[in-house]
Amino acid sequence: MDINFTRRRFLETSAALLGVSLVGCGEKAPEGPTSRQNPDGTIALAGLKTLSNGTAQPFTFPDGEAGLIFVTAAGESGAVSAKCTHAGCVVEWNAPNNPKIPLRCPCHESLFALDGKVLSGPATAPLKRYAVTLSGAEAQLRAL
């Protein structure tokens, strides 16, 4: 028997024999789209799911901040920082519940418009906003 047969290797071998992945056993699978900062200051997203009208997808900016890319019911794309300007919670896509209040912070109920403006506090500052050029599973974001 291999003396270096570690617990990890035992799990990998067992998983391979059972045809299962070790994801969920302490390893993190990549989630959602990836992002990178371009030399010109724009942000590139890759691995997006298809966004139909009225839907959104969360992502993480290269600096670790939460973001939300969306396509409005009218077909216009955009993105915002999803970091609530009140105390930093992650703002959620609320358009399916109420198209007039598309962005909602679950922590203290701040409400935001698609252009990042505050509709209702306690937040007082707008969310950072980005122009989006969508191309299939990729997007370019430019700060507005």
Q: Which residues pair with 68 in a beta bridge?
A: 58, 80
Instruction: Select from 85, 69, 97 the least CA-distant residue to 126.
Output: 85
Nearest distance, CB of residue 62 and ligand FES, angstroms: 23
Distance CA 102, CA 120 (A): 12
Distance CA 136, CA 122 (A): 37
Query: Do the Cβ atoms of 26 and 11 come closer than 8 Å?
Result: no
Query: Do the Cβ atoms of 34 and 21 come closer than 8 Å?
Result: no
Kindly report the length of the chain.
Answer: 144
Nearest distance, CB of residue 96 and ligand FES, angstroms: 20
Residue closer to ligand FES by CB (options 79, 84) is 84
Residue closer to ligand FES by CB (options 35, 110) is 110
- Which positions touch ligand FES (CB under 6 A)? 84, 86-89, 105, 107-108, 110, 122-123
Residue closer to ligand FES by CB (options 96, 106) is 106
Nearest distance, CB of residue 109 and ligand FES, angstroms: 6
Query: Do the Cβ atoms of 65 and 111 come closer than 8 Å?
Result: no
Residue closer to ligand FES by CB (options 52, 124) is 124
Nearest distance, CB of residue 97 and ligand FES, angstroms: 17
